[in-house]
Amino acid sequence: MLEPLRSWLVAVVALLPVLALAVEIEIANPQITASEDGFVVSADFGFDLNERLEEAVSRGVVLYFVTEFEMTRPRWYWLDEKVVSRSQTQRLSYHALTRQYRLSRGGLHQSFDTLSEALRVLSRLRNWLVIDGRGEKAGVQAGDTYMAALRMRLDINQLPRPFQISALGNRDWNLASDWKVWQATLPVEAR
């Protein structure tokens, strides 16, 4: 009886460092609020780039950070219904000619003198429109309660090919959060 328990404990202790390294982005204060255009998500992400990622950015490698949001409606008779699924990609790069870091999302670009300034803006998600209008198109209603989930990760699939290959087995390139899941009641009216 003690032998299986002892081998199980040894396995758990051996996996603790791996589990601790897997999550390097922490998500704090996620919330859904109403706006004039629909419903928006805001959250704070806590992370630091390791030396390898900082060096890669400073040498011109573009890092792609993907933020994903999902909202589901619980169902008692089947699996939960996914009613909203959104993602956005932000690019972090360094331009040697201007000696500035650049953070881009879609067609919008913002330049920073230091990497820490760029990371500060990257780590603050504010007013991201995830549901247009009143939500009828998405099948959601204000006042109803849903399960919301949010995560951020470094997308190694968008790196140049040589970096993708070296990133596959290297934890220095594994920067991601777990899904942060919370129960969210959609606000009834815009503030």
> Tell me: the pLDDT tens digits for 2-43?
454 444 444 444 444 444 444 599 999 999 999 999 999 999
C-alpha distances in Å from residue 28, one per residue of 20, 57, 115: 18, 26, 22
* Confidence (pTM): 0.81
Measure the CA–CA gap between 117 and 115, rounded to whole angstroms: 5
Count, in order, helices (H) and strands (E) of the chain.
4, 9
For residue range 147-175, list pLDDT tens digits in order.
999 999 999 888 887 777 777 777 888 89
Supply the Cα-derived Rg of the chain in whole angstroms.
20
Q: Is the pLDDT of residue 138 over 90?
A: no
Strands 100-105, 124-132: pairing kind: unpaired
Strand order in the sheet with 124-132: 26-34, 38-46, 124-132
C-alpha distances in Å from residue 141, one per residue of 32, 33, 44, 127, 181: 13, 13, 26, 19, 19
Q: Is the pLDDT of residue 68 over 90?
A: yes
Tokens in use for 163? 């970096």
pLDDT of residue 150: 98
Residue ranges per structural domain of the chain: 2-185
As a whole number, the mean pLDDT across the chain is 85
Write the CB contacts of 12 (distance below 8 Å, at least 6 apart in sequence).
none
